[in-house]
Structure 1
C-alpha cells in the first residue's frame, strides 16, 4: 500500500480545514452579458475619435474632483469632464505632458533600467485649489503644482524624494492634512529605505527610523487616512514577531500624531516620537483561525450605524487556499489597541512577549503631546520615553474585526479581490449599503450589506451581481496583468463606477435595471436597491429622493405573487 508523503498530508489537512471553515458561497443573482458591458464608455487617452495613440497609457493613479476626473499616466496628466461623454468613449479636455529630461533618462539607463526611465505619475492630490503631482522622473522623482482647469505648471518643480517612489512598480500613499504632506514610500534607488514622511508644511520634516526592521520590514503601502489627531497608514509587511523559518506577510495599521515635532537632540531627532503599529486581524474564526493576511485595498472612513468604520479587502498568499475577504474595523476599537500593551523581543533568539505595564515609562510612549501639560511638546519628552518608543513600535494586541467575522468571503475561485468602493447611501431612500469589489480577472462584484437583526455589529451579505469590467477590445490588451484594476471610484451624480486599469478607464453604471425592463418578477428578484418596478411597467434606475411610485423588495426579493415573465404582469399600481 502506498504511503502518503508529509507534503500531501499537509495539503489534505488544509483542504479539510477549508471545507469546515468556508460555507458554500452562493453565486450572483445576476450575471450581466458581456455584450452589454462592451458598450460602456471607455477612456483610452484620446482627445477625439480621429486621434490615434502610438503608445500605451500606463495609467498609475486617478483623482475625481467634483465633475472632473484627473488621470496620472506615463509622461502625461489628463483632465476628463465627467459630464461630457460622447457615446462609447470619454475624451480628455486637457492634457499636460511632463517628460523626464534627457540627462535623467541617460543616468537611469546607465544604472541598468530601460522602460522605467520615464516619468510615471504616482502622486495626484487636490491641494490649495490646484493639483499636487509627483512622478518617478526616470528614477529621480520630482513633484510640482498644476492648475486644475488648464493644467499649467505653478512655480518650479521640487524634489520628490521621500514623497514619491523611484520605481513605478512600487506602491505609495500620500495625503495632505493641516497643510503638511504625509507620505508612505521608499527614499532610495534600491527601495531599501521605506519611510513615513511629513514635509512641506509649517511643522518640521519628520521620518521613520532608517533601516530598522522593528519599524518597517519590506512594507507595501495601501492607504492613508486622517482621523482625529492622527494619520493612520494601512500597509502589509514581513512580520518580525513570528519565529518561523519562512517569511510571513501580515497586514498592519500604523499611526503618527499630526502635531509630532520629533524627539530631542539626543534621541529621535527629526524622527517620529508617536509612530506605533498593530496587526490587522481579518480571519474566519474556528478551532484554528483562517487568516487573510494580505491587505489589498481600503475604503475611506465611512459612517455606519453611528460609528466610524473602515473596510479592507484582504487576500491569501499564493501558497495558501486561494481566497479573499472584506473585513470591517471600528476606528474607536482600532484606536484602543494603541492604548494597550506593547510587544518586545528581549534578545534576537527569544520569542516576542508583552511588555509588563510596570516597565512602561511615563508619560506613556507613542501618545500625542498635550498643550498645557508637563510635556507640551514631543521634543521635551524624557530620553527614557523616547528610547522606549524607538525600540517598541509594535503593539501586542491585533485590531479586531467588527462583528468577529468577515463581511464578505470569496474562496476557491481563480481570482482575488483587490479594489473596492462603498456606497452607504444606495437606493431611492439613501438607506442601503452596497460594496463594489474589483477582481484580478477584471470583473466587478456587487454585494448588498444588510445589518443583522440579532447583532448590530454584524452583517449579512447578498451577492447581487458580477459583470465584466475590463474591455479588451477597447483597452487593447487581454493579458492577466492588463486585467488587474488599479482603483474603483464611485461617481454618485451619474450613478456610475470609474474602473481604472493601466491601459484604460471604463465607466460602468452601478446597476443594469434595463435587463429586467419587461419583467417585473426578475426586477423584484434582483434585490438591487438601485432598481425598482415603476408605473410605466418597466424596471428603472431609482434616483435618490425620487417621487415616482415604485415596487422593490431588497430584503427578500419575494416574487411568489408574480407570474412568469411570459405571462401577464401583476399590476400593483391600479392602472
Structure 2
C-alpha cells in the first residue's frame, strides 16, 4: 500500500490519460431483446432450468460448440435465432475444459470427469464418440475453474494445465502425436511458478503461449505477479539422456510490458485474455487485455504487441540470478554457450544440428537454467491502445475482427467485463489527432437477468467471446446463458443518416435510405465516414 501511495502522485499530472468515452451507449431496452441460449430444451419458460455452467465456446464449420457441465451443445449458426438459440447436445458427465477440431472429421473434447480428467474424440456433426476414452492428466485440469490452454499443431496436442490433483505440478506438455512427448521441468519455479494459463497459438516454427505467474526475479515482502509470453519449437525432440531428457530444450519466456509511462510506470500486470495473431497495416499483431490486482488502484488496459518485437526479446540477452541472495541481471554475451540455446534445431544458430537431442550438453545445461529473457516485450506505440482506470470493474475477455467494414480494412476490438458489459473500439496503429491509437465506439450491458439468472443468482462475469463474422454476431457466454449480440446496432439509427454516419461504426452503413448492418460479402455502396464522422449538411433527427 505504501508503494501505491508513493506512485500515485506521479500520475496526477496531465500526462496520465483520461478514460475514453464511448460515442454510443446502447440502452438496456435494446440489449434485453437479444436472443439467448440457456440450455433449456423446452420453449416453456416455466420448465426447470439446468445448471449449464458454461466454460468455453468455439466456432467450427458454421457450428458454435459450447463446453458446459455434463453436456456439449452444438448450435447451428445458419439457423435463424430471432427469439431463442436452438441446439443439439451430447452428454459427457464433465465440466468441459477443451473443445478442439482435431481434423476434418473429429472433435477432441476433455473434461474434469469428477477430478479424473478424461478426453474423448467425437464425430463432427453427430457428436458420436469415436474410440476409447483417453487419459486427461497433463492435458486437462482437475478442477473446473482452473485455467488452461490447448491446441493441435501438426497432429500433436499442446497443453498448459495443472497435471496433478494437488494443484502443484503446472506443465506445458506435448502429447498424442508422432513427436516425442515433452514437458516443462517438474516443479521448477524458474520454468513455471504457479502459472495461470491464458492462450496459445502456433506461428512459423513455434508454439507460443501466454500466461501470468508469480515472479522469481522480484522477490521480497510482497508477491509480484507478471505477464509472460513463452514459446517452444515444434520440432523439439527433447534433450539427451543426461540433460533435459523428455523435456523441452527450446522453452523460453519473456515479460509482457503493458504500462502507462510517467516518472514511474503504471503497470497492468494481470494478463486476462489474448487474441490470436491479427494483421494490421501489414504487421502481425497480438492484442491482450490486462488488469491491476483487486486490492490496488483499479485499472484495465488493452495492449498490442508485434510478433517482431516478441522475437526480438527472445533473440536478446538471457536473465540470471548468480545466487539465491543476489539480484537478477543480464547474462553477459561471453557467458552464453555456442551454439546459442533456445532456438530450433536445423535453423538459425542451430542450423548445423539435425535434432535437439544431439545438441551439446553446455547448450542444454544453460537453457535448463536460463529460460527467462532479460528484456521485456514493449507494447506498440509504447502505450495501451485502450485503458480504463476510473471504474472498479475489470475487463477480462477480448476478441478482435481485423477485416471489419465494406472494404475489410478496419480492426474492431470487443472486450468483455466482469459485470456483463461489452466495450467495442476501433484500433489503429497509426497516430493521428482523430484516432491516436483507438476510438471508443460503443458500450453495452448485455447481461439479461430474465434469461441468465439461475436460482435467483446473477453471475455477470463474462466467460468467453466468439465471433460469428458470416452472420454478423458476437456470442457472449456467461455461466448460465449465451447472448447473441449483433456486431453493429445499426437498426437504432433507422432512417437518420446523421446518426448513422456519426456512429463511425465499420459495421454500420447508410444504404438505400436507412442504416443497415454491413455483413461480409454484402453488395452495394455503403456510405460511411469512419475516420472523421463528418455530418456537415445532414439534417438533425
Give TM-score scaled by structure 1 length. Answer: 0.90
Please give the alpha-carbon distance, in whole angstroms, between the structure 2 residues aligned to 1:301 and 1:450: 15
Deviation at 1:543, TM superposition (A): 3.1
Counterpart of 2:89 (choices 64, 73, 95) is 95
**Kept after mapping to 1: 8 A contact 2:24/2:442:** yes
1:394 equivalent in alignment to 2:359: no
- Cα RMSD over matched residues? 2.0
Counterpart of 1:152 (choices 96, 114, 128) is 128
Please give the alpha-carbon distance, in whole angstroms, between the structure 2 residues aligned to 1:492 and 1:443: 20
Please give the alpha-carbon distance, in whole angstroms, between the structure 1 residues aligned to 2:432 and 2:471: 36
1:72 equivalent in alignment to 2:67: yes
Greater length-normalized contact order (CA 8 Å, ≥ 6 residues apart): 2
SS in 1 for 2:450: helix
* Residue in 2 that maps onto 1:527: 504
Aligned residues: 536
SS in 2 for 1:444: strand
* Residue in 2 that maps onto 1:281: 257
* Residue in 1 that maps onto 2:222: 246
Post-superposition CA distance 1:531-567 (Å, at most 9, x none):
12222x22222334544344321111122322321xx
* Residue in 2 that maps onto 1:467: 444
Please give the alpha-carbon distance, in whole angstroms, between the structure 1 residues aligned to 2:280 and 2:393: 29
Please give the alpha-carbon distance, in whole angstroms, between the structure 1 residues aligned to 2:443 and 2:476: 14
* Residue in 1 that maps onto 2:24: 30
Q: How does 1:86-165 map to 2 (within 5 A)?
A: 86-92=81-87, 94-99=88-93, 119-128=94-103, 129-165=105-141
1:318 equivalent in alignment to 2:313: no
Deviation at 1:233, TM superposition (A): 0.7
Please give the alpha-carbon distance, in whole angstroms, between the structure 2 residues aligned to 1:449 and 1:232: 23
The structure-2 alpha-carbon separation of the partners of 1:388 and 1:86, relative to structure 1 and needing over 3 Å to count, comes to closer
SS in 1 for 2:344: coil
* Residue in 2 that maps onto 1:57: 52
Deviation at 1:452, TM superposition (A): 2.4
* Residue in 2 that maps onto 1:432: 410
Please give the alpha-carbon distance, in whole angstroms, between the structure 2 residues aligned to 1:186 and 1:200: 18
The structure-2 alpha-carbon separation of the partners of 1:18 and 1:150, relative to structure 1 and needing over 3 Å to count, comes to farther
1:84 equivalent in alignment to 2:105: no
* Residue in 1 that maps onto 2:313: 337
**Kept after mapping to 1: 8 A contact 2:275/2:398:** yes
The structure-2 alpha-carbon separation of the partners of 1:479 and 1:351, relative to structure 1 and needing over 3 Å to count, comes to farther
SS in 2 for 1:84: coil
Gaps of 5+ in 1: 1-6, 100-118, 566-575
SS in 1 for 2:499: helix
**Kept after mapping to 1: 8 A contact 2:10/2:263:** no
Counterpart of 2:494 (choices 496, 517, 541) is 517
Please give the alpha-carbon distance, in whole angstroms, between the structure 2 residues aligned to 1:24 and 1:515: 28
Q: How does 1:278-317 map to 2 (within 5 A)?
A: 278-317=254-293
- Larger mean CA deviation between 312-321 and 392-401 belongs to 312-321
Give TM-score scaled by structure 2 length. Answer: 0.95
SS in 2 for 1:280: strand
Q: How does 1:308-457 map to 2 (within 5 A)?
A: 308-370=284-346, 373-452=351-430
* Residue in 2 that maps onto 1:485: 462
* Residue in 2 that maps onto 1:116: none
Work out which of the two has the higher radius of gyration on C-alpha atoms and give 1 or 2: 1
SS in 2 for 1:78: strand
Q: How does 1:176-191 map to 2 (within 5 A)?
A: 176-191=152-167
* Residue in 2 that maps onto 1:114: none
**Kept after mapping to 2: 8 A contact 1:76/1:98:** yes
SS in 2 for 1:344: strand
Deviation at 1:125, TM superposition (A): 0.3
